[in-house]
Amino acid sequence: GESVGLHLPTLSVQEGDNSIINCAYSNSASDYFIWYKQESGKGPQFIIDIRSNMDKRQGQRVTVLLNKTVKHLSLQIAATQPGDSAVYFCAEIVDNYGQNFVFGPGTRLSVLP
Amino acid sequence: KAGVTQTPRYLIKTRGQQVTLSCSPISGHRSVSWYQQTPGQGLQFLFEYFSETQRNKGNFPGRFSGRQFSNSRSEMNVSTLELGDSALYLCASSQRDEGRTEAFFGQGTRLTVV
């Protein structure tokens, strides 16, 4: 079946360190992936996306890596800041023309002072 | 540019009642999707509307329904509420008429069924 899952439900990092959040997906036909950040009381906020014809994409302080061979997605946050504390979700699109995202269960990132 | 607006932000209903939630997408966005978020099930897709037509539907019972108006605003309705319907209901809009583009979420409507 189609599913997106995260390896670690919680992650604690020291301020200034790099964070790596992982995600596994099972639908090899998925060709578009997004990372969202959700802070308490807010809706998910777009961070970065990647298409399946790419292995890596960089944004401001964030990098997404896609390994299609093992169906694995990761989000790297450089120089993690207190404002990065949130729940991070990976999501994949599983239909061809809609907005039906399948979300992973989420990883809570806690940034320690 | 205004973001996705959902109303109301909070709602308390009694079992058996019905509820209607509203979503105003970002101006120019024609696709509106709805998601249910619970601690146990995470974020789950309910349905998607594009140009007043339901284009996609998730695995939810028929008590969950929606519609989209000509101005792209959308409503979702839940009839015969159950305790398990308590959740954060999120609406997302996107600009393109095909997928593979980011969806912008509203802050959600927190529904509590008692």
Mean residue pLDDT of chain B comes to 92
Per-residue burial over B49-62, b = 16 or more CB atoms within 10 Å of its CB, e = otherwise: bbeeeebbebebee
pLDDT of residue A3 exceeding 50, the answer is: no
User: Per-residue confidence at A101, pLDDT binned at 50, 70, 90?
Assistant: confident
pLDDT of residue A8 exceeding 60, the answer is: no
Q: Cα angle at A97 between A89 and B78, to 5 degrees?
A: 65
Instruction: Note the pLDDT of residue B98.
Output: 55
| DSSP letter, residue A55 | S
- Chosen for mutation from B36, B97, B102, B110 (greatest number of chain A CBs closer than 10 Å) is B102
Residue of B nearest to A3 (CA): B44
Sign of CA dihedral A50, A27, A30, B36: negative
CA atoms within 13 A on the CB side of A51: 5
Q: Which amino acid is at B27?
A: S
Total residue count of chain B as it appears in this document: 114
Give the closest of B48, B90, B106 to A99, CB-based. Answer: B48
CB-based contact A82:A25 (threshold 8 Å): no
Q: How far apart are alpha carbons B86 and A38 in whole angstroms?
A: 19
User: Per-residue confidence at A1, pLDDT binned at 50, 70, 90?
Assistant: very low
Mean residue pLDDT of chain A comes to 88
Q: Cis (ω within 30 of 0) for the bond into B8? A: yes
Low-confidence ranges of chain B (pLDDT < 50): none
Neighbours of A47 (CB within 10 A): 21
Q: How far apart are alpha carbons B88 and B40 in whole angstroms?
A: 12
Cβ–Cβ of B100/A31 closer than 8 Å? yes
pLDDT of residue A2 exceeding 50, the answer is: no
Q: Which amino acid is at A11?
A: L
Question: What is the mean pLDDT of the segment spanning A45-70?
Answer: 95
The helix/strand/coil state of A27 is: coil
Instruction: Note the pLDDT of residue A55.
Output: 96
Residue of B65, B78, B74 whose CA lies nearest to B106: B74
Q: Which amino acid is at B9?
A: R
pLDDT of residue A89 exceeding 60, the answer is: yes
The helix/strand/coil state of B4 is: coil
Higher-confidence residue of A99 and A5: namely: A99
Q: pLDDT of A11-56, one tens digit each?
A: 999 999 999 999 998 788 888 899 999 998 899 999 999 998 999 9
Instruction: Note the pLDDT of residue A4.
Output: 54
Residue of A nearest to B93 (CA): A99
Instruction: Note the pLDDT of residue A99.
Output: 65
Instruction: Note the pLDDT of residue A9.
Output: 83
